[in-house]
A and B are shown apart, each in its own frame.
Chain A
Amino acid sequence: MSAGTLYDKVWDLHRVAQLPGGSTQLFIGLHLIHEVTSPQAFAALKDLGLPVRLPERTVATVDHIVPTTSQARPFADPLAEEMLATLERNCSDYGILLHGLGSGRQGIVHVIAPELGLTQPGMTIACGDSHTSTHGAFGAIAFGIGTSQVRDVLASQSLSMGKLKVRRIWVEGQLQTGVYAKDLVLHIIRVLGVKGGVGYAYEFAGPAIDALAMEERMTLCNMAIEGGARCGYVNPDAVTFAYLQGRPYVPISEAWERAVAWWRGLASGADAVFDDEVSFDAAAIAPTVTWGITPGQGIGVDEMVPTLEQTDPDERPLAQEAYRYMDLQPGTPIAGLAVDVCFIGSCTNGRLSDLQAAAAVAKGRHVAPGIKAFVVPGSEQVAAAAAAEGLDQLFKNAGFEWREPGCSMCLAMNPDRLEGRQISASSSNRNFKGRQGSASGRTLLMSPAMVAAAAIAGKVCDVRHMINTTP
């Protein structure tokens, strides 16, 4: 059993009671809501005649269903309009702060909470979205919940939870130029598998993690859930504190000093005990691309689609399903595979540094003929910061569309979607069958820089070759 880890400390600080079924009642420090998983929770609350226990600990935004072309109200899609109107009404009825469209603070829930400083070390954070694991980048314990649990957090500011085991994922060395946190996490999931993390929280640590900027740590923790781990986290350090200082919801002056002291003390100690430990070498990781239908089916861009013989016997049925669905032959290179659509954005890779990395590739180049390429900033703040650097114009000059903030083509609950059997190069997080809105659409997950490179080349290619050469 783990002991002395950040997970153990935060768990203990938030324990309210032991429940009759043996689970723990855990206080939730920050509850984030959006339009998709909250309406039924509010309806249940109304049915039960219950108030929201601590409305000031819940913050709302709208992200999944918003169009990224025109965000004028009412939306063209009446269902989308109804969902947003319902969220607005619920927030108004219960006194919950909503960062709505045009507020300057709207965006993907996992982008705005960190950039506003709502996300802080040592918190328990819940949201009706599995990518809530993102917030673990700050040393918070953050996890996705279902709608019944959204109702429970609204009603009681707490959840009935079982404690997870803790696996430390130690990453030695340094990522190569052109290799990003996205590649690192795709590689980790490739090795540990999409079910490897079930029952675990993942602690990411080691020299390569220490060297990651906050936005890269968010990308890493965002995809912990794709490895089966309900939450992933990085211990808070000077990088964390530098990111947080001065953000709207972060304490100032003496309270800041006290906060930093408290946050420092939460990090896993040198004598922490883990349930499991694994290690990786960052320098050995290449830009990674998924070829199949789960995020665990990834390979280095310079590798071949694995053959059945190279595949773990347990994973062979899934590999066969993936060959068929993706229409890929085992033993053939992934580099050179033609793509139709290139998407840069999402809660995984829709932050300023992601757009900067893609822009560095796109600068002075142009999207290949016939390719639809678009960039969707993760939030209104990201959009403004990118525009202030001229990235919007740079992308447009290179043939990319520049869109309004939202979840966009990550999950196809809005007008952005694949059609027919199109293949996308996507900076999002899931390559499941049908994920991007077409029942036969195909998704290749990769870093934003790799997506930009694919857009320029019209096919999967190694971004390291483009970074090292001038256009």
Chain B
Amino acid sequence: MTAAMTAPGFPLGPISAVSGRAIVIAGDDIDTDRIIPARFLKCVTFDGLGEKVFSDDRAELSGEHPFDRAELQGASVLVVNRNFGCGSSREHAPQALMRWGIRAVVGESFAEIFYGNCLALGIPCFTASHANVLSLQEELTAYPNQDLSLSLATATLKASRGQVWQLELQAGPRLMLESGQWDATSQLLAQDAELARTAASLPYINGF
């Protein structure tokens, strides 16, 4: 049991594994406007965003969207394709996913700001080859009730029917998640003398 899975709490402390069922969202270039449409950004807290995740896509599919299907309620892993999370920098997108219950994302590739936003929330974004993601998506679509276990140390995903997929997780983010230092604030505050030195060396800080 990892801190990440202490439902209904949000990720906290060292994260070494994520387990649970998975939701498949197929398609490339799924942008943050689709993950959380802009009208839901009119808020001063992130509370309540979970139920709005993929709101317009879900309305269009009237109950048949993966986030609405009964057997997928409580899922904690999201499996996507290429360039997931492109577009706006809104952290509301990973916040909405996290508040719905997502604790890890597996995909072919991620937009950078989205990836960093996920890391800042303690959500690992694993990558895998096109072929691996497709086979994973096929397996999960055929057998959606499987429990998955994702290991950060080995970057592997095991499904309860027995199949194992090799994924990739960047070394830096993996270290940060495993050590519980994925929330950067305390690290950034630790080098204040160096920060002051850097600032003092910049001409524009000192009126040239």
Fill in one digit per residue for A121-155: 1 if any B CB lies within 8 Å of its CB, else 0. 01100001110100000000001111111011001
B41 CB to closest chain A CB (Å) equals 6
- Taking CB atoms, residues of chain B closer than 8 Å to A15 are 198
Residue of B nearest to A30 (CB): B204
* Range class of the B interface residue count: 35 or more
Which of these, B34, B42, B192, contacts A65 with CB under 8 Å?
Answer: B42
Contact of B188 with A by CB under 8 A = yes
Assess whether B82 is interfacial by the CB under 8 Å rule: yes
Beyond A148-B183, A255-B208, A317-B28, is A129–B38 a contact (Cβ under 8 Å)?
no
Question: Across the interface, do B60 and A432 meet the contact criterion of CB distance under 8 Å?
Answer: no
Q: Please report the C-alpha to C-alpha distance between residue A123 and residue B202 in the assembled complex, in whole angstroms.
A: 9
Which residues from chain B contact A314 at a C-beta distance below 8 Å?
28
**In the bound complex, what is the Cα–Cα distance between A262 and B206 (angstroms)?**
13
Q: Is A80 an interface residue (CB 8 A)?
A: yes
CA distance A80 to B43 in the complex (A): 8
Q: Does B121 contact A (CB under 8 A)?
A: yes
Q: Is there contact, CB below 8 Å, between A29 and B189?
A: no
Q: Is B8 an interface residue (CB 8 A)?
A: no
Contact partner, B121, options A79, A148, A157, Cβ 8 Å: A148
Binary interface profile of A, 429-450, with partner B (CB < 8 Å = 1, else 0)?
0101111010100000000000
Q: Which of B87, B109, B175, B205 is the one whose CB lies under 8 Å from A432?
A: B87
Residues of chain A contacted by B59 (CB below 8 angstroms):
439
Nearest CB in chain B to that of A23: its residue: B172
Please determine whether A148 and B89 come into contact, CB atoms closer than 8 angstroms.
no
- Asked if A230 CB lies within 8 Å of chain B CBs, one says yes
Q: Mark A31-43, 1 if CB is under 8 A from B, else 0.
A: 0000011011001
Question: Given that A146-B89, A318-B27 are contacting pairs, would A152 and B172 also be in contact in the complex, using a CB cutoff of 8 Å?
Answer: no
Within 8 A of B (CB), among A293-313: 294, 296
The stretch that binds A, out of B110-118, B135-143, B161-169, is B110-118
A155/B175 in contact, CB under 8 A: no
**Given the complex, which residues of A lie within 8 Å of B189, measured CB to CB?**
50, 155-156
Size of the A side of the interface (Cβ < 8 Å), in residues, is: 82
Answer yes or no: B199 CB below 8 A from chain A CBs.
Answer: yes
Complex contact B42–A77 (CB within 8 A): yes
Of the residues B112, B185, B187, B194, contact of A199 by C-beta under 8 Å: B112
Partner of A146 from B90, B172, B188, B199 at Cβ < 8 Å: B90
Contact A128 B109 (CB under 8 A): no
CA distance in complex: A40, B45 (Å): 6
Closest to B183 in A: A148
Q: How far apart are the CA atoms of A144 and B113 in the complex, in Å?
A: 7
* Residues in chain B near residue A16, CB distance under 8 A: 191, 194-195, 198
CB neighbors of B among A175-201 (8 A)? 194-195, 198-199
A25 touches B188 (CB 8 A): yes
Which residues of chain A come closer than 8 Å to B37, judged between CB atoms? 434, 439
Contact status A151-B185, CB under 8 Å: yes
**A146 touching B202, Cβ below 8 Å:** no
Q: Which of B24-56 contact A (CB under 8 A)?
A: 27-29, 31, 33-34, 37-39, 41-46, 56
Bound-state CA distance A296–B28 (Å) is 12
Chain B, range 168-208, C-beta contacts under 8 Å to A: 171-173, 175-176, 179, 181-185, 187-189, 191-192, 194-195, 198-199, 201-205, 207-208
A313-328 at interface with B (beta carbon < 8 Å): 314-315, 317-318, 321
- Contact: B56 with A251, CB < 8 Å? no
A86-B44 CB under 8 A given contacts A146-B116, A430-B87: yes
How close is A146's CB to chain B, nearest CB, in angstroms?
Answer: 4
Question: What is the CB-to-nearest-CB distance from B111 to chain A, in angstroms, rounded to a whole number?
Answer: 7
Which A residue sits closest to B206, measured CB to CB? A255
Given A27-B202, A439-B59, A145–B175 Cβ distance below 8 Å? no
CB closest chain-A residue, reference B45:
A40
Residue of A nearest to B33 (CB): A432
- Report the separation of the CA atoms of residues A189 and B38 in the bound assembly, to the nearest whole angstrom: 24
A156 touches B195 (CB 8 A): yes
> Which residue of B29, B56, B202 is within 8 Å of A434 (Cβ)?
B56
19 pairs, CB–CB < 8 Å, chain A vs chain B: A13-B198, A21-B179, A22-B175, A36-B90, A39-B45, A50-B185, A79-B43, A130-B88, A148-B183, A152-B184, A152-B188, A157-B199, A159-B188, A195-B82, A198-B111, A258-B208, A321-B27, A434-B34, A437-B39
Which A residues contact B (CB, under 8 angstroms)? Answer: 13-17, 19-23, 25, 27, 29, 36-37, 39-40, 43, 48, 50, 53-54, 64-65, 77, 79-80, 82-83, 86, 120, 122-123, 128-130, 132, 143-149, 151-152, 155-160, 162, 194-195, 198-199, 228, 230, 251, 255-256, 258-259, 262, 294, 296, 314-315, 317-318, 321, 411-413, 430, 432-435, 437, 439
The 4 closest A-B pairs by CB, nearest first: A146-B91, A148-B120, A146-B117, A144-B89
Residues of B with Cβ closer than 8 Å to A? 27-29, 31, 33-34, 37-39, 41-46, 56, 59-60, 82-83, 86-92, 94-95, 109, 111-113, 116-117, 120-121, 171-173, 175-176, 179, 181-185, 187-189, 191-192, 194-195, 198-199, 201-205, 207-208
